[in-house]
A and B are shown apart, each in its own frame.
Chain A
Amino acid sequence: DIVMTQSPLSLAVTPGEPASIFCRSSQSLLHTNGYNYLDWYLQKPGQSPQLLIYLGSNRASGVPDRFSGSTSGTDFTLKISRVEAEDVGVYYCMQALQTFTFGQGTRLEIK
């Protein structure tokens, strides 16, 4: 099974400042089609998770452009260019190459 490891497990950010969340997979998520099968989700308090990024770097419909995803080998990064209050919640990475496996989550709070 592919294991997903996120860091940090929590972070507190001042509004308007950037934030980065990291995810590492235990094996390559690179498909033969050239895409990395890695998604990012945000679970806001009291809500179901919502899709932010798919295939490593593609923003889902309606996701603000302050969210971006990048890849370096088996390391993946979610960047928020300017954190807003509505961004609080738990962020999860998920591999989609071999069914689905989630990371343990990163809790983002506002300072």
Chain B
Amino acid sequence: QVQLQQSGPGLVKTSQTLSLTCAISGDSVSSDSAAWNWIRQSPSRGLEWLGRTYYRSKWYNDYAVSVKSRITINPDTPKNQFSLQLNSVTPEDTAVYYCARSISDMGIDHWGQGALVTVSS
């Protein structure tokens, strides 16, 4: 079965870069039917989709307008994982971050365990 294991620091200083990794088991980051997403959740913003990476003969990325200037999502095919980098963070970026798999037309069917990231000076 598909499992997503998140890792990364739980505390990031203001103005620095938030970096998280999601290791995939039971599927491939290069799957031609899946997309690999980052989603965050905070009391003020609710559930907020941040972006995704996916492979359809070549690699594609989509990002939310709200973070487009600060975000990078990269696949790592040798390690079968994908990563999130969010630059120039502020306390408003404090949230629980989830990695998740979506399958073409069939919803977000697998989620990581979630990781609280706190941004503080």
Q: Report which A residues bind B (CB closer than 8 A).
A: 1, 35, 37, 39, 41, 48-51, 53-55, 58, 60-61, 92, 94, 96, 99-102, 104-105
Q: How many residues of B contact A (CB 8 A)?
A: 21
Cβ–Cβ < 8 Å partners of B105 in chain A: 35, 37, 54-55, 96
Which secondary structure characterizes the binding site on chain B? strand
Q: Decide: A51 near B46, CB < 8 A? Known: A1-B65, A99-B62, A99-B64.
A: no
Kindly list 4 other residue pairs between chains A and B, CB separation below 8 angstroms, not including A54-B105, A101-B49, A102-B47. Answer: A49-B98, A58-B106, A99-B64, A105-B47
B10 close to chain A: CB less than 8 A? no
Q: Which 10 residue pairs spanning A and B have beta carbons closest together?
A: A54-B107, A48-B111, A100-B49, A102-B47, A39-B107, A51-B107, A54-B106, A51-B109, A104-B46, A48-B114
Cβ–Cβ < 8 Å partners of B48 in chain A: 102
In the complex, the chain A residue whose C-beta lies closest to that of B105 is A55
Within the assembled complex, what's the spacing in Å between the Cα atoms of A94 and B46? 12
Q: Decide: A100 near B108, CB < 8 A? Known: A1-B65, A49-B47, A105-B46.
A: yes
Residue in contact with A48 in the complex, picked from B52, B65, B112, CB distance below 8 Å: B112
